[in-house]
Amino acid sequence: MEKGSYRHSEKIKKEISRRHKEWWEENRNTQKVKDRNKKLSLALKGRKMSEEQKEKRSKTLKGRIFTEEHKKNLSIAGKGRIITWGQKIAKSRENNNNNRHSNKTREKMKQSRLLFIKNNPEFFNEHRERMKGKGNPAWLGGISYEPYDKTFNEDFKEQIRNRDNKECLICGLQEKDSFRKLDIHHIDYNKKFSVIQNCGSLCASCHSKTTINRNHWILFFQSLLNEKYGYNYSDNKIVLEVC
Ligand SMILES: [Zn+2]
């Protein structure tokens, strides 16, 4: 055969395509293909296309229309392909009832988190100091604490945490397993109303969830605290017993 470009006849094209498919079906999950892909990806890594190459490529791709048959073939070829990380995570979430990680993995993560806290206490202390006042991006010039009333102090907050067994009321995360102390949430969202019946301990993650669906969360906490501690509420208001 002489050097140059050749146009295959339809018959030969079909034959080539059939052989390709056959080869792919037989080999797509083999080590040989995996090795080849690895080599390819290594070879392509860090390769930079020249401007000329880019333009050429974009011209080739532009306006390319896939025939119905080609699309169908693409979809067949795509089936059974190794899925990406994002897809894997999405799948495992589905399988785990929306839990991103299995219980075993979560336990492992917890242990490594605890180890990190134990080995790096200064990291968190420094971070805490940095995030105080002006160091915090959310700092509003000293007014952010004003809406809270004077009884909402560290003693009061600690009293609530102790009442709740130092556990997040929503997810049960224990304070000792967390990077920071539990937040104290105002059940009726009135930060000036700091009484034990209106406050509960939450981890930072759950606390952030309570910023929306407020009516849902008011009812949720009121019924939870009623069940746990016998507090009474009516029409979202606390009912205090008069002795
Ligand atoms: Zn929580």
- Rounded to the nearest angstrom, the distance between the alpha carbon of 180 and the centre of ligand 1 is 12
Say whether both 159 and 122 belong to one domain: no
Say whether both 181 and 120 belong to one domain: no
H or E element at residue 239: strand 237-239
- Rounded to the nearest angstrom, the distance between the alpha carbon of 202 and the centre of ligand 1 is 5
- Rounded to the nearest angstrom, the distance between the alpha carbon of 128 and the centre of ligand 1 is 20
Say whether both 117 and 166 belong to one domain: no
Choose between 5 and 59: higher pLDDT: 59
Number of domains observed in the structure of the chain:
2
| 233 assigned to some structural domain | yes
Per residue, the 3-state secondary structure of 75-97, as one string, reads HHHHCCCCCCHHHHHHHHHHHCC
Tell me the helix, strand and coil percentages in the chain, rounded to 5. Answer: 55, 5, 40
Six-digit token pair at 104? 């075993």
Say whether both 121 and 197 belong to one domain: no
Say whether both 151 and 125 belong to one domain: no
- Rounded to the nearest angstrom, the distance between the alpha carbon of 223 and the centre of ligand 1 is 17
- Rounded to the nearest angstrom, the distance between the alpha carbon of 169 and the centre of ligand 1 is 7
Residue 131, pLDDT above cutoff 80: no
- Rounded to the nearest angstrom, the distance between the alpha carbon of 194 and the centre of ligand 1 is 20
- Rounded to the nearest angstrom, the distance between the alpha carbon of 165 and the centre of ligand 1 is 13
Tens digits of per-residue pLDDT, 183-242? 999 999 998 889 999 999 999 999 999 999 999 999 999 999 999 999 999 877 888 766
Say whether both 222 and 161 belong to one domain: yes
| 60 assigned to some structural domain | no
Residue 15, pLDDT above cutoff 60: yes
- Rounded to the nearest angstrom, the distance between the alpha carbon of 98 and the centre of ligand 1 is 16
Say whether both 168 and 228 belong to one domain: yes
Residue 71, pLDDT above cutoff 70: no
| 168 assigned to some structural domain | yes
| 31 assigned to some structural domain | no
- Rounded to the nearest angstrom, the distance between the alpha carbon of 146 and the centre of ligand 1 is 26
Say whether both 125 and 201 belong to one domain: no
Enclosing domain of residue 169: 147-239
- Rounded to the nearest angstrom, the distance between the alpha carbon of 108 and the centre of ligand 1 is 18
> Coil, strand, or helix at residue 70?
helix
- Rounded to the nearest angstrom, the distance between the alpha carbon of 173 and the centre of ligand 1 is 6
